[in-house]
Amino acid sequence: MNNGVVQDRLLRTLSLVPKDSRLDPQWEPRARLGFTYRGAEAFDENHLIEDLDNLADSGYLERIFVERLMICPTCRSHSVNVHEACVTCNSSNLQTITSYFHFRCGYIGPESAFGKDPNGLRCPKCNGVLTDRGTKFDSPGDYFECKSCASMFQQPQMAVRCLGCGALFIGSGLEGLLYRDVYAYRLTLRGETALNDRAIAVGELAQK
């Protein structure tokens, strides 16, 4: 591609950026990258991102970090679901439950395991009556119960399901996820001058 064509394309890309504000990404789940830029509907998507990056690297634009998108390494989809999962069976079918700790016998269990008593709760381990919360018993915090395998735990593990190809990433598999940084752009003084002069030093741009 000759320099004149490249310069025209870069100037057209540069002109997308408002002189008195900035070019912000517009979130669009149906877009291939998960976002678009206002006014860029007729632009080639691959050239647009490449040109914006080149213009920023060469001082015509200021690059402003906006967001980091998680990307599936299998199909490159940005449509992923981050969720909590069971530490035993990896199911996301979890519910939060309140637990109690009986100081005297050391029993810890879900609230539902303690029987009802006119004076309070009855411990399922020692059959003692729990009357005063804070002195006889207390809650060590909420637990999670897996409704798929009945496991109980305090901290679930994080998991990611790709809604594009169905791949599940969990535990050490999360390290394989990819990321895409999304930026807004603002004209620099050099960029404003280039628009006014309708000239860009194409030779200084590192064409990919």
Q: What is the pLDDT of residues 2-32, one digit of tens each?
A: 677 788 889 999 999 998 899 999 999 999 9
Q: pLDDT-derived band of residue 52, with 50, 70 and 90 as boundaries? A: very high
Q: What is the pLDDT of residues 33-51, one digit of tens each?
A: 999 999 998 888 878 999 9
Distance, in Å, from the CA atom of 25 to the CA atom of 183, rounded to the nearest integer, reads: 7
pLDDT at residue 208, as a whole number: 44
pLDDT at residue 49, as a whole number: 93
Q: Tell me the percentage of the chain whose pLDDT exceeds 70.
A: 96
